[in-house]
Amino acid sequence: MMANMTIEGLLDDYRAGRRTVREVIAEALAEIRREDPRNVWITVPDDVALEPYLARLEGVDPATLPLYGVPFALKDNIDLAGVRTTAGCAEYAYVPEHSAFVVQRLVDAGAVPLGKTNLDQFATGLVGARSPYGPCGNAFDPEYISGGSSAGSAVAVALGQVSFSLGTDTAGSGRVPAGFNNLIGVKPTRGLLSASGVVPACRTLDTVSIFALDAADASRVLEIVAEYDSEDPYARPDQVPQLGLAGIPENGFRFGVPMAGQLEFFGDQDYASLFGEAVARLRSLGGEAVEIDFAPFLEAARLLYEGPWVAERYAAIRSFFDARPEALFDVTRGIIGGGRDPRAVDAFEAQYRLQALRRQTEAVWDSVDLVLTPTAGTLPSIAGVQAEPVRVNSDLGYYTNFMNLLDLCAVAVPSGFRADALPFGVTLFAPAFRDRELLPIADRLQRAAGLPLGATGRPQHDRPPLTPDGRHHIPVAVCGAHMSGLPLNRQLTQRRARLLRATRTAPEYRFYALPGGPPERPGLVRDDTGGGAAIEVEVWMVPADGFGSFVAGIPAPLGIGRVRLEDGTDVPGFLCETAATRNAVEITRLGSWRRYLASPG
């Protein structure tokens, strides 16, 4: 069995003194520098070039850096200072003075870049076979494709040569290779990760992506690289999601599944069966499957290559393309060269159609929290791709091409193996900026599948599960008219709040029916003298962008303070000014506003 290359595993070894950074990097480089039948790497820096990254960690406490000594790889369209960037075309290559923004964030966190990986030329393709450096072979069987365009980045992680890697994703390049190599693949919300120092494919749609052995590692990397870059014109600060509910619940979530007639597996019965198993697995985790109309997603997907967006690929390398067209692969030259033809009117008409499709797809989020699809419908061989390069590539984009056009975030998750021992994966997706809510669901789904990590043969790491990120919503404990089914509950539901749980306070509160109304309101008052009781409350999750207006509408003598729950946690919640209880009726003995409303007289 291979050494543990998960981030948490490495950090545990470093902290315990079982391994040193130099030992780990030397072992990784020895593996990388062996004969490479899969064509994973394009450029691996020599020991002299890597020494500064190692020297800066000398004498540093491993506990002080979140990625101390963790080796990673970069797709060769992402800049690493002093190492040439080829974008899969040697004639295009240049040597950057500075690393890409996201790479520098990783280095500052203690990570060690081990080199640049193979890709479909100019990130144009989902196969990993359109490269002058050779087709990149699958980690499980080199006769099959790795997926692309972030081909080598995925295979390097799957083989355990590095702990994680960076790719890019415009049409599926950060998800298809994850699905084909038994990995987690994070396609972040567009703009959440900086694209400064990245060779563009479609500048308005590109995003840097993350490959990792498990969801915990992917989450750790995301937290480090998801920093707003004011120098990137397309960067967007993290923000509250605008669609759907206030967060994806841990249980009772609803997930969309394309209608049966809209699923496509291109004759791959193993993949069809494995997807059915994945749906059942997500149900077992507390989800409810809801069939959705996938047609508008599929129409949006077709716009990416059949519409004027291909002109962006031409714009990205226009001067080089016009000067050196012979330097490109035939199929790559044909695709990018097609971008010279669309007219401005075509671009506007496509934007109009895309906006209409966005409106149609937005309706999905009224009924589901996330959507589950296969990551790809089948896994072809390299020979099959070479025989029909355009058709096969198009097939692989069936479940991926719409994602950035519709401004969605996604996580690819390992989900099983075909009879020939090749991987199958699924993808979870949701509206923009729900990245940190998808990852805990992906973590649970990966755990439930019980698969080994990548192609390493190692079992999944025994550690606590990921917990939902709370930055986009605020818990509020309500004890009266804002509870479910009562007159003021609409003030919560209109702000897209959701019920988290029904519980009770700690036994240290007095409860009053206040004069006035309608509607009648209770008052909750903390009592430190020992005369209080536990009072029934509901905890609602309110979107952060609606919390201020909700609080502003609360009339005196009520307000928001800290309410202690029976499990000892404190959450924001309704409290009452003590003076207002002088003319109120104490109902502490009832312990419940509903019980008071149901009581006679």
Q: What is the DSSP string of 506-550?
A: -S-EEEEE-S--SSP-EEEEE-TTS--B--EEEEEEEEHHHHHHH
Q: Say if residues 40 and 159 touch (Cβ distance below 8 Å).
A: yes
Cα dihedral sign, 70-71-72-76:
positive
Whether residue 173 lies in the annotated active site: yes
Cα 336 to Cα 198, 400, 447: the distances in Å are: 18, 19, 40
Q: Using the structure block, give the residue that is written with the tokens 């506990």.
A: 63
Secondary element (H or E) of residue 31: helix 21-32
**Per the residue annotation, which of 149, 165, 194, 415 is the catalytic one?**
149
Residue 280 neighbours by CB under 8 Å, 6+ apart: none
CB-facing half-sphere around the CA of 169: CA atoms within 13 A:
38
Whether residue 75 lies in the annotated active site: yes
CA distance 226 to 469: 14
* 52 preceded by a cis bond (ω within 30 of 0): no
Q: Residue 466 carries which DSSP code?
A: P
Residue 532 neighbours by CB under 8 Å, 6+ apart: 507, 508, 509, 510, 526, 588
Whether residue 367 lies in the annotated active site: no
Sheet holding 509-513, edge to edge: 522-526, 509-513, 585-586
Task: Give the residue from 148, 249, 217, 256 showing the smallest Cα distance to 446.
Answer: 217
Question: Cα 215 to chain center, whole Å?
Answer: 9
Q: What is the DSSP string of 33-70?
A: TS--TT--EEE---HHHHHHHHHTTTT--GGGSTTTT-
* Three-class SS state of 382: helix
**Per the residue annotation, which of 163, 173, 196, 209 is the catalytic one?**
173
Phi and psi at 425, nearest 5°, equal -135, 160
**Both tokens assigned to 523:** 């008052």
| Residues that are catalytic | 75, 149, 173
